[in-house]
Structure 1
Amino acid sequence: MTELGVFARVFPAGPAPAVARAIRGAGFTATQLNLSAVGRPTLDTGLTEDDAASIGTAFRDAGIRIWGVSGTFNAIHPDVEARRRGVDGCLAVVRRAGALGAEVVTLCTGTRDPANMWHAHPDNRSRAAWADLLRTLDPLLDAARTAGVRLGIEPEPGNVVADADTAARLFQHYGIDARHLAVVLDPANLLTVDTLPHQEAVLTEAFDVLGAHVAAVHAKDVVAAGYAASGCGGMDYPLVLRLHAGLPHPVPVIAQDLSAEDAPRVVRFLRDAERAAGSSR
């Protein structure tokens, strides 16, 4: 049975034990933690080893595995000083990830848009943007190697790593050091309402290209505008779960863009899709 997780920040922020119990009560057994969900800064430079261990223990005691922790900042921000601050904050999270129990620190590969790290910008495809991404990643990879964790790269259409092919290029660039990178594969990021009729071809190619590197699959849906929870758009989730089952190693499915009230339905929906995927194989 697939391990189902959810973004911790779906639930009201509060003490770690309360957040963990809410996640478990909704039917999930794993989480992608943003430290803001437990009342701390996302990039918490003041997080001690004991602080991190206490948070990790609270989640484990509730039956929740902290699969990953957010280290997101704009990795190619046009302001060099903003990038430096982001790297410093992310390094702090990487160093505490093990104490939290996390195996992956998730990143945003970034954009030249100075106001929103997820918004597309025409300069994202420039050589300078790619070079800045590598400069940002180099010290983070060194820290990940020391900490024994991986950095999670998510192909996002608004970011410099916009698609599966660009993510594959990043792994090729780093060679053996790419073992400290992982892919967070969000099928909805690779589709629009216009390309939904071709989703089987698009997603099959993405899973084929990146499958060996995938550490988690995100679950949301594809709608004309805005964001939607799984089951509220046009995504073929039996297809997604069938492709997920074909990965070379088991990885969690992490739900996002849902409300706390909708969380139990999302769990049921994903379980139903998993059963449908199994019956179609």
Structure 2
Amino acid sequence: MSVGVLAHLFGRMPYKELAHTVGLHGFKHVQLALWKAIDDVDFSEAGRLSPGLARNIAEEFHKNDVSISILGCYVHLFDRNEEKRRRNVARFKELIVYARCFGATTVAAETGKLPLNDFSKQDRAALRASLEELIEEAEKWGIFIGLEPANDHLIGTAPALKQMLDEVPSSHLGVVLDPGNLITLENIHHQDQVIEEAFTLLGKRVVGAHAKDRMLMEDGAIQTVTPGKGQLNYLLFLTLLHQYKPQCDIILEATKPEQMKETKVYVERLQQQVREAGMLKN
């Protein structure tokens, strides 16, 4: 289980500079969201990518011993404005088409939010339509779509994502699992059950994992922090991840550049504990 990082945690910059910066911080792979991380090419609309551009970006990362494990696609997949939804689907499709030119096999996304979580049956139907169209494209190109359940999103829990996976059956629709996205103020005190449920329902479909932490503050609010600085049961998370998906890529979130070395060491140390515990059992 190799520890990588969201490329845009370093901010937006030219892709050559970005690749060099990631390499200097010791990461061997990234989740790359083009329009959130790169500022010397305009990726705000579909149509700018070519095999040459994708290959050149990938080569810059490879020069710095970094691979692109996942392409991130932060778009709203059930936007109530149909024109915007079509543009978002087009952007996602483009990443699917060019993913292998980047050396990636997964394009990952959350599903989208609404103010006050005012979701409707029509929103869910629009999301399903988007996914069905994207899956058709993914199957053509041999790419995984990694859908990430996230609190306050239309697909916000493990059971909600399991239901969608059952409704839209495809081996090319997988899961990016981030327990930090499932831990809320309401369930933080029984988080082990939440984590175990997520793996029971989704573990066999995991194609990648994200790592952030959650901390209950003195004022009763819940805050997102870098792994190891909160209250998430990381040993349980990594144990189950190792059991269900050994060697699964892990991507750091909610981590500032100055925290990355310490956080990476923390996650890797727990990974080693998990591996040693497994060897002792065997």
Matched, 1:270 2:267: yes
Pairing 1:195-206 to 2, within 5 Å after superposition: 195-206=187-198
CA distance in 1 between counterparts of 2:207 and 2:44 reads: 21
Give the alignment partner of residue 138 of structure 2, picking from 132, 135, 144: 144
Match of 2:6 in 1: 7
CA distance in 2 between counterparts of 1:103 and 1:265 reads: 29
Deviations 1:197-247 (A, max 9, x none): 322221112112111110111100102344311112111211211111111
One-letter amino acid of the counterpart of residue 170, structure 1: M
Report the TM-score, using the length of structure 1 for normalisation.
Answer: 0.89
Aligned 8 A contact 1:73 1:107 in 2? yes
CA distance in 1 between counterparts of 2:133 and 2:203 reads: 25
One-letter amino acid of the counterpart of residue 129, structure 2: R
For structure 1, list consecutive stretches of 5 or more residues without a partner in the other structure.
114-118
Match of 1:31 in 2: 30
After superposing the two structures, state which structure 1 stretch, 42-51 or 198-207, moved more: 42-51
Shift in alpha-carbon separation, 1:43–1:209, aligned structure 2, 3 A: farther
Deviations 1:81-127 (A, max 9, x none): 1111111122222211110111111123123x2xxxxx55132xx32
SS at match of 2:69: strand
CA distance in 1 between counterparts of 2:180 and 2:82 reads: 31
CA distance in 1 between counterparts of 2:27 and 2:197 reads: 29
Aligned 8 A contact 1:107 1:152 in 2? yes
CA distance in 2 between counterparts of 1:220 and 1:271 reads: 14
Give the alignment partner of residue 231 of structure 1, picking from 218, 228, 233: 228
Match of 1:172 in 2: 166
Matched, 1:243 2:245: no
Deviation at 1:268, TM superposition (A): 0.9
One-letter amino acid of the counterpart of residue 78, structure 1: R
Report the TM-score, using the length of structure 2 for normalisation.
Answer: 0.89
Aligned 8 A contact 2:70 2:106 in 1? yes
CA distance in 2 between counterparts of 1:120 and 1:156 reads: 15
Aligned 8 A contact 2:45 2:87 in 1? no
Shift in alpha-carbon separation, 1:28–1:179, aligned structure 2, 3 A: same
CA distance in 1 between counterparts of 2:87 and 2:201 reads: 33
Deviation at 1:194, TM superposition (A): 4.7
Shift in alpha-carbon separation, 1:43–1:165, aligned structure 2, 3 A: farther
CA distance in 1 between counterparts of 2:52 and 2:224 reads: 36
For structure 2, list consecutive stretches of 5 or more residues without a partner in the other structure.
216-220
Match of 2:182 in 1: 190
SS at match of 1:265: helix
After superposing the two structures, state which structure 1 stretch, 16-25 or 214-223, moved more: 16-25
Superposition RMSD in Å? 1.8
One-letter amino acid of the counterpart of residue 101, structure 1: G
After superposing the two structures, state which structure 1 stretch, 130-139 or 241-250, moved more: 241-250
Matched, 1:130 2:124: yes
Match of 2:218 in 1: none
Pairing 1:103-122 to 2, within 5 Å after superposition: 103-111=105-113, 113=114, 121-122=117-118
Match of 2:199 in 1: 207
Aligned 8 A contact 1:68 1:103 in 2? yes
CA distance in 1 between counterparts of 2:79 and 2:167 reads: 21
SS at match of 1:152: strand
Deviation at 1:44, TM superposition (A): 4.5
SS at match of 2:270: helix
Match of 1:88 in 2: 90
Runs of 4+ deviating beyond 6 Å: none
Aligned 8 A contact 1:7 1:33 in 2? yes
After superposing the two structures, state which structure 1 stretch, 252-261 or 9-18, moved more: 9-18
The percentage of counterpart residues that share the same residue type is 26
CA distance in 2 between counterparts of 1:193 and 1:26 reads: 33
